[in-house]
Chain A
């Protein structure tokens, strides 16, 4: 009886997983493994690949640009993650207060998420313009002389961070909102009876129960940060002088512009290793702070 039940359960697991497993293996894992093979070759896509062993990997490690790209990603991360998560939490909490017009606000917050980078990059270039941009105008009101953001070696990355936070904060807000929606009101009722105030409620109930969602956002954002590409391509193309160059930007250029597919594949696998390790560490650490209802 018990064995039978177990067998049935396994069958159910298999059936439920089958479509995703199949498409993941065929459309994701297979190309990924092919790219692993490619990374061991010198391949320009036009001719036949030539086996070169680990040469591409060695070259990635000896190329100065690789380190610059990693460094640039960390520059991005440090600014982007706290900002987007902090603002997202603030907006989500405020929007969840069941105020009038919450729907309209939510809609407005979501607009940047669904606007295309190409169209938006032009206005951002203007907002960030060193001479006539609004951002520098506002800064000048408080007596600060703003930089020529996107043309400045140091300030180009902060500018990209700003634009990215603008684009993504709606995404984070919406995810957090759906996380908040999962939190049962009973908790708040109980807390009220205990006499907890708003701030207390936030830290004692909202935040802990939101940790699975926050964990999700952190993992996804980190993965996305390491694959930073679109906004860089449309706003600076990796410049000025390489100060916003990223891993994926280099991978794309090497694969499709420089006829170095093998090298690009090696770069991808190194990038993958970095992301994988970080995700593993986060996965281990989550048990310490992520609060699942089923414990």
Chain B
């Protein structure tokens, strides 16, 4: 039966491939006709743009920016598509596989290296060279350089995000504990947290999520890292890292200043954010994208740099615009990405609408960001850049999701208490070694 099935299937396929083959020829002959006008540049050039950071409530802001761009550049028409973060790479990769990549698209730092390494995006050095007006120092150097690959500039940074220590001023006042400042280390954090914890009323001194992203920053705060500095070997199982992981566990297990690790309530979506807003957390490590969410909390709160142990370390999430390798509209694409990332109109709109923090060097421009609404210490956001840790893509950026998956699973086992911190990191080291082969 199987044999017959296969024979039949093959017969059908042969007929079909003929059909598809024919239509492919048709498609190819019509191609130049639609491609030609783009080169002439008399009619508007249409560029396709795909992105995810506007998904949610910033689509109108994006539209305003694009409208302004088209108004200023009448020879360019932008067709844009906004996707949810969870689906973005699924669609983008399928589009690239089907030779239908958008001309300009957005990538996060941790995925950027993959696209550069796989040679699907264009290096913009010639565009930069041809553009007399462009100065790279409009961008913050760190953010700009993050999108270099093998010394070539591939993308322009749109903005960045960071994680900081949020704290509930009212709780600190009530327990007469001094507010966190930049000199704090884990020790001070723990001492304060012990005073602030009030288990009876369900108030916890400090909270940080228990997952891979938090882990790679925490080990950096203890001087550790996942990869050796030359990116050649795995160092995830170092003693400093084991200690850091133990600290993540001990905060709840030993010191009782964080919710229990198997506390299901905190595995609910956004539970930590809601707990903070509800006045149940004195200190919380979370992203600056939550400013708006906490704006109407009924207590005073502010932010500070994260306490480290042997050194400071802060997350750095940056998104950039890049250009598809196959685009025939490089010049238009360049003008567009330059506008979206650094034009004063786009930058101030980005700040005004609370979309993200532009990666712009000019402090005068940034002043308008610092003056926005709560929290008072917005400048801290800028200070995190002095001790940033990039997502540890190591020697295998294209296997980033496997890195997060493998390490994440081992961390989870340690969190559940199935294995010790040391065992977890030994396992993780083995799995990472398997990935780099």
Q: Which A residues are closer than 8 A to B by beta carbons?
A: 21, 25-26, 29-30, 33, 44-47, 122, 125-126, 128-133, 148-153, 239-242, 253, 256-259, 261, 280
Query: Is A130 in contact with B401, judged by CB distance below 8 angstroms?
Result: no
Query: Is B13 in contact with A29, judged by CB distance below 8 angstroms?
Result: yes
**B178 part of interface (Cβ distance < 8 Å):** no
Q: How far is the CB of B71 from chain A (nearest CB, A)?
A: 35
Over the window 257-281 of chain B, the binary record of Cβ atoms lying under 8 Å from chain A Cβ atoms (1 yes, 0 no) is 0000011110111000000000000
Over the window 86-127 of chain B, the binary record of Cβ atoms lying under 8 Å from chain A Cβ atoms (1 yes, 0 no) is 000110011011000000000000000011001110000000
* Cα distance, A253 to B408, chains bound together (Å): 14
Over the window 393-405 of chain B, the binary record of Cβ atoms lying under 8 Å from chain A Cβ atoms (1 yes, 0 no) is 0000011011001
Query: Is B13 in contact with A241, judged by CB distance below 8 angstroms?
Result: no
Query: Is B97 in contact with A133, judged by CB distance below 8 angstroms?
Result: no
* Cα distance, A33 to B1, chains bound together (Å): 18
Interface centre among B119, B264, B267, B412 (most CB of A within 10 A): B264
* Cα distance, A33 to B15, chains bound together (Å): 13
Contact residues in B for A128 (Cβ distance below 8 Å): 264
Name which residue of chain B comes closest to A43, CB basis.
Answer: B97
Within 8 A of A (CB), among B277-306: none
Contact residues in B for A253 (Cβ distance below 8 Å): 401, 405
Additional A-B contacts beyond A259-B93, A259-B399 (6; CB < 8 A): A25-B15, A45-B96, A47-B120, A130-B264, A253-B401, A256-B89
Known: A44-B118, A45-B97, A239-B412. A258 touches B418 (CB 8 A): no
Query: Is A47 in contact with B114, judged by CB distance below 8 angstroms?
Result: no
Contact residues in B for A261 (Cβ distance below 8 Å): 97
Set A21, A30, A129: member contacting B264, Cβ < 8 A? A129
Contact residues in B for A133 (Cβ distance below 8 Å): 264
* Cα distance, A151 to B210, chains bound together (Å): 13
Set A29, A30, A240: member contacting B412, Cβ < 8 A? A240
Query: Is A45 in contact with B93, judged by CB distance below 8 angstroms?
Result: yes
**B12 part of interface (Cβ distance < 8 Å):** yes
Q: How far is the CB of A41 from chain B (nearest CB, A)?
A: 13
Name which residue of chain A comes closest to B86, CB basis.
Answer: A233
Query: Is B120 in contact with A33, judged by CB distance below 8 angstroms?
Result: no
Contact residues in B for A258 (Cβ distance below 8 Å): 399, 401-402, 405
Interface of B (DSSP majority class): helix
**B413 part of interface (Cβ distance < 8 Å):** yes
Contact residues in B for A149 (Cβ distance below 8 Å): 264
Name which residue of chain B comes closest to A21, CB basis.
Answer: B12
* Cα distance, A130 to B19, chains bound together (Å): 57
* Cα distance, A132 to B266, chains bound together (Å): 11
Within 8 A of A (CB), among B227-273: 262-265, 267-269
**B142 part of interface (Cβ distance < 8 Å):** no
* Cα distance, A44 to B397, chains bound together (Å): 13
Query: Is A148 in contact with B13, judged by CB distance below 8 angstroms?
Result: no
User: What are 23 contact pairs spanning A and B, CB under 8 A?
Assistant: A25-B12, A25-B16, A29-B9, A30-B13, A44-B118, A46-B93, A47-B118, A47-B120, A129-B265, A129-B268, A130-B263, A132-B264, A149-B264, A150-B264, A151-B262, A239-B409, A240-B416, A241-B416, A241-B418, A242-B409, A253-B405, A258-B399, A258-B402
How many residues of B are counted as interface, with CB atoms below 8 angstroms from the partner's CB atoms? Answer: 38
Query: Is A45 in contact with B94, judged by CB distance below 8 angstroms?
Result: yes
Query: Is B96 in contact with A126, judged by CB distance below 8 angstroms?
Result: no
Set A33, A46, A122, A132: member contacting B13, Cβ < 8 A? A33
Interface centre among A21, A44, A152 (most CB of B within 10 A): A44
Interface centre among A25, A151, A241 (most CB of B within 10 A): A241
Contact residues in A for B416 (Cβ distance below 8 Å): 151-153, 240-241
Contact residues in A for B16 (Cβ distance below 8 Å): 25-26, 29-30
* Cα distance, A240 to B19, chains bound together (Å): 47
* Cα distance, A189 to B90, chains bound together (Å): 58
Set B118, B262, B405, B409: member contacting A46, Cβ < 8 A? B118
Contact residues in A for B401 (Cβ distance below 8 Å): 253, 257-258
Query: Is A259 in contact with B114, judged by CB distance below 8 angstroms?
Result: yes
Contact residues in A for B15 (Cβ distance below 8 Å): 25
Q: How far is the CB of A139 from chain B (nearest CB, A)?
A: 14
Query: Is A241 in contact with B413, judged by CB distance below 8 angstroms?
Result: yes
Q: How far is the CB of B98 from chain A (nearest CB, A)?
A: 9
* Cα distance, A152 to B263, chains bound together (Å): 11
Q: How far is the CB of B145 from chain A (nearest CB, A)?
A: 24
Contact residues in A for B418 (Cβ distance below 8 Å): 153, 241
Q: How far is the CB of A27 from chain B (nearest CB, A)?
A: 10
Name which residue of chain A comes closest to B94, CB basis.
Answer: A45
* Cα distance, A129 to B265, chains bound together (Å): 7
* Cα distance, A133 to B19, chains bound together (Å): 57
Contact residues in B for A44 (Cβ distance below 8 Å): 118, 398
Q: How far is the CB of B350 from chain A (nearest CB, A)?
A: 29
Query: Is A150 in contact with B267, judged by CB distance below 8 angstroms?
Result: yes
* Cα distance, A126 to B270, chains bound together (Å): 13
* Cα distance, A122 to B268, chains bound together (Å): 8
Query: Is B265 in contact with A29, judged by CB distance below 8 angstroms?
Result: no
Contact residues in B for A45 (Cβ distance below 8 Å): 93-94, 96-97
* Cα distance, A25 to B267, chains bound together (Å): 45
* Cα distance, A149 to B13, chains bound together (Å): 47
* Cα distance, A29 to B12, chains bound together (Å): 9
Q: How far is the CB of A64 from chain B (nearest CB, A)?
A: 10
Over the window 181-194 of chain B, the binary record of Cβ atoms lying under 8 Å from chain A Cβ atoms (1 yes, 0 no) is 00000000000000
Query: Is A151 in contact with B267, judged by CB distance below 8 angstroms?
Result: yes
Q: How far is the CB of B87 from chain A (nearest CB, A)?
A: 9
* Cα distance, A44 to B114, chains bound together (Å): 11
